């Protein structure tokens, strides 16, 4: 007896037009990453659970454990990776003798989190990461460079207005230590909940964690600072707190903001409430918000990590930023209706006059494909009206008719306009705008 098909929440599966739109976004991201000199790597899906669970307060709650159904108790405990940074750090350690540093990598792969699916959050999702990692020391200018990479990507995608919110965790660390707070990581985790529980909720958690009312008030005062230039430096100093680590963080963040102002004006915001929940971040941190829907949360985030890739003898500091592709497309495709101009890559359907001459149609298709024209041969030698209808339903803009030319050659028809012209498969090419499927945004025409 066939079992009933039951949907599983938290997984994206797109229809063909939507899948083409997803591939367009992925190809754009890949192209920009390579334009900026990043090399592609791919890492395995699983890591030891102990390595994954050592990355933050809630990391162990999100890991999908993996084991054979017939496995024994002596099997190594493995889990699906919940991001691409942890496996990349392991990859660097295993291959350090073969890599050239500073190493620039990009990685576009699925990741998995065992959390409750909700708007913009999935159990399986695609991330697109770029990282720069070096041996022993990593210059701070890379932290500004990654922001410019993301600005380049988002400038080519239909995301509308957006802002990259930037902070430096050294600002928070130095500030907290200066006012007498020793549990820096715990305080960062609490402040990182501001968007979810608000100032009153954060204040209550800080007090419960042992902070005084004055310390809690000062933490919130720091988190309220947000500027589109380097004036945050003066605002922080006006709080009357000084510490060497704080000054270091202010200097680094000011440098990032100055670079962004020159090369991507209006994109960066210094936002001192941004903390990021994972423990491995040590410097600059990023979160990217779409201005039309800031409540959707960050669609691109990351930061600097100094000790994640370390074998006890050598340390490889790095900085990375990750585009939540599935999260972004959940909004663009799933909610706003972004799609593609056709449901197949084919730009041309070669008609079949009759089954005896199908080989002629196949030869025409081969000639077109040899010059990069995506082409499909009609499945049946039906009436031409039905073959045109076949193409129209799939969004294929051109139908090729063997032997229908005025001089005995072939003809090709634009079924949108009805225009038909003589054509030779050895030379004819559709306009560049029709060669590949294009994105269609809601309200626009294809």
**101 belongs to a structural domain:** yes
Q: Which of 23-37, 125-139, 216-230, 277-291 has the lowest mean pLDDT?
A: 277-291
Is residue 68's pLDDT more than 90? no
Q: Given this model, what pLDDT does residue 51 score?
A: 83
Model confidence pLDDT, tens digit, residues 99-148: 999 999 999 999 999 888 899 899 999 999 999 999 989 999 999 999 99
Closest CA to 166 of 280, 289, 279, 306: 289
Query: Phi-psi category of 10—alpha, beta or left, where left has phi over 0 and alpha has psi -120 to 50?
Result: left
- For the chain, what is the mean pLDDT? 92
Domain end call among 285, 314, 339: 339
**In this predicted structure, what is the pLDDT of residue 59?**
53
DSSP-assigned beta bridge partners for residue 319: 132, 304
pTM of the model: 0.89
Q: Looking at the structure, do residues 361 and 334 belong to the same domain, yes or no?
A: no
Instruction: Flag whether 6 is in a domain.
Output: no
Q: Do both 378 and 271 map to the same domain?
A: no
Indicate whether 141 and 276 sit together in one domain.
yes
Q: In this structure, what CATH number is given to the domain that contains residue 193? A: 3.30.930.10
Average the pLDDT over 326-334 and give the result: 96
Gyration radius from the chain CA atoms: 27
Residues 320 and 381 grouped into a single domain: no
CB contact at 8 A, 376 and 348: yes
Q: Has residue 17 got a pLDDT over 70?
A: yes
Q: How far apart are the first and last CA of the chain?
A: 44
Q: How many domains does the chain have?
A: 2
> What residues contact 256, with CB distance under 8 A and at least 6 apart?
143, 144, 147, 166, 168, 268, 284
- Are residue 334 and residue 352 in the same domain, yes or no? no
332 & 400 share domain: no
What is the distance between the alpha carbons of residues 189 and 197, in angstroms, rounded to a whole number?
A: 12
Residue 33 lies in a domain: yes
Q: Is 160 helix (H, G, I), strand (E, B) or coil?
A: coil
Q: Is residue 1 included in any domain, yes or no?
A: no
Residue 57 pLDDT level (bands cut at 50, 70, 90): very low
> Does an H or E element contain 304, and which?
strand 300-310
Tell whether 165 is covered by a domain.
yes
Place of tokens 């600097």: 304
Question: Domain range for residue 421?
Answer: 348-440
| Domain presence at residue 185 | yes
424 within a domain of the structure (yes/no): yes
Same domain, 291 and 402: no
Distances (CA, A) of 122 to 63, 158, 326, 386: 13, 22, 8, 41
Distance CA 338, CA 17 (A): 9
Maximum Cα interatomic distance, the chain, rounded to a whole number of Å: 91
**What are the DSSP calls for 203-254, one per residue?**
HHHHHHTT--HHHHHHHHHHHT-EESSTTHHHHHHTTT---HHHHHHHHHHH
Residues sharing a CB contact under 8 Å with residue 253, sequence separation 6 or more, in sequence order = 166, 167, 168, 171, 232, 270, 284
Same domain? 306 vs 384: no
* 103 shares a domain with 181: yes
In this prediction, residue 55 has a pLDDT band, given cuts at 50, 70 and 90, of low
C-beta of residue 277 within 8 angstroms of C-beta of residue 56: yes
Q: Assess whether 282 and 403 both reside in one domain.
A: no
* 174 in the same domain as 77: yes
Q: What is the CATH number of the domain that holds 421?
A: 3.40.50.800
Query: Could you read off the pLDDT of 251-297 as tens digits, one per residue?
Result: 999 999 999 999 999 999 999 999 876 778 899 999 999 999 988 98
Structure tokens at 67: 């084991």
The answer to whether residues 136 and 215 belong to one domain is yes
The residue out of 306, 339, 372 marking a domain boundary is 339
pLDDT at 71: 66
Is 159 contained in some domain?
yes
Q: Residue holding tokens 């291959």?
A: 95
In tens, the pLDDT along 295-306 reads 898 999 999 999
- pLDDT at residue 165 is higher than 60: yes
- The domain boundary residue, chosen from 313, 339, 365: 339
């Amino acid at each position: 007896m066939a079992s009933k098909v039951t949907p599983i929440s938290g997984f994206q599966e797109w229809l063909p037009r939507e899948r083409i739109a997803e591939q367009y976004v992925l190809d754009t991201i890949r192209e920009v990453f390579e334009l900026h000199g990043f090399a592609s790597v791919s890492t395995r899906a699983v890591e030891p659970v102990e390595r994954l669970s050592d990355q933050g307060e809630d990391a162990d709650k999100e890991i999908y454990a993996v084991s054979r159904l017939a496995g024994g108790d002596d099997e190594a405990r493995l889990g699906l990776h919940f991001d691409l940074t942890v496996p990349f750090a392991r990859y660097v350690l295993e291959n350090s003798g073969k890599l050239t540093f500073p190493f620039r990598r990009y990685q576009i792969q699925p990741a998995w989190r065992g959390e409750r699916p909700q708007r913009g959050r999935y159990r399986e999702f695609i991330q697109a990461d770029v990282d720069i990692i070096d041996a022993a020391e990593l210059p701070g200018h890379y932290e500004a460079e990654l922001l410019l990479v993301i600005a380049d990507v988002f400038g080519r995608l239909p995301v509308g207005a957006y802002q990259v919110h930037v902070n430096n965790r050294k600002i928070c660390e130095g500030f907290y230590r200066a006012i007498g707070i020793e549990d820096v990581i715990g305080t960062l985790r609490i402040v990182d909940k501001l968007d979810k529980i608000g100032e009153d909720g954060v204040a209550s958690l800080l007090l419960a964690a042992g902070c005084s009312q004055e310390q809690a008030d000062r933490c919130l005062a720091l988190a309220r600072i947000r500027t589109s230039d380097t004036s945050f430096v003066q605002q922080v100093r006006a709080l009357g707190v000084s510490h060497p680590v704080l000054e270091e963080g202010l200097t680094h963040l000011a440098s990032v903001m100055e670079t962004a102002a020159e090369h991507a004006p209006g994109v960066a915001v210094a936002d001192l409430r941004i903390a990021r929940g994972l423990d491995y971040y040590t410097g600059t941190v990023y979160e990217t918000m779409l201005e039309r829907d800031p409540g959707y949360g960050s669609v691109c985030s990351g930061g600097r990590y100094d000790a994640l890739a370390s074998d006890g003898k050598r340390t490889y500091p790095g900085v990375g930023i990750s585009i939540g592709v599935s999260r972004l497309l959940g909004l663009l495709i799933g909610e706003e209706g972004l799609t593609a101009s056709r449901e197949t890559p084919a730009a041309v359907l070669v008609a079949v006059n009759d089954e005896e001459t199908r080989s002629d149609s196949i030869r025409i298709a081969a000639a077109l494909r040899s010059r990069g024209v995506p082409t499909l041969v009609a499945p049946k030698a039906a009436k031409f009206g039905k073959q045109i209808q076949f193409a129209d339903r799939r969004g294929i803009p051109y139908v090729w008719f063997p032997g229908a030319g005025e001089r005995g050659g072939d003809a090709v028809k634009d079924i949108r306009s009805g225009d038909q012209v003589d054509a030779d498969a050895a030379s004819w090419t559709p306009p560049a705008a029709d060669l590949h499927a294009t994105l269609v945004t809601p309200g626009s025409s294809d």
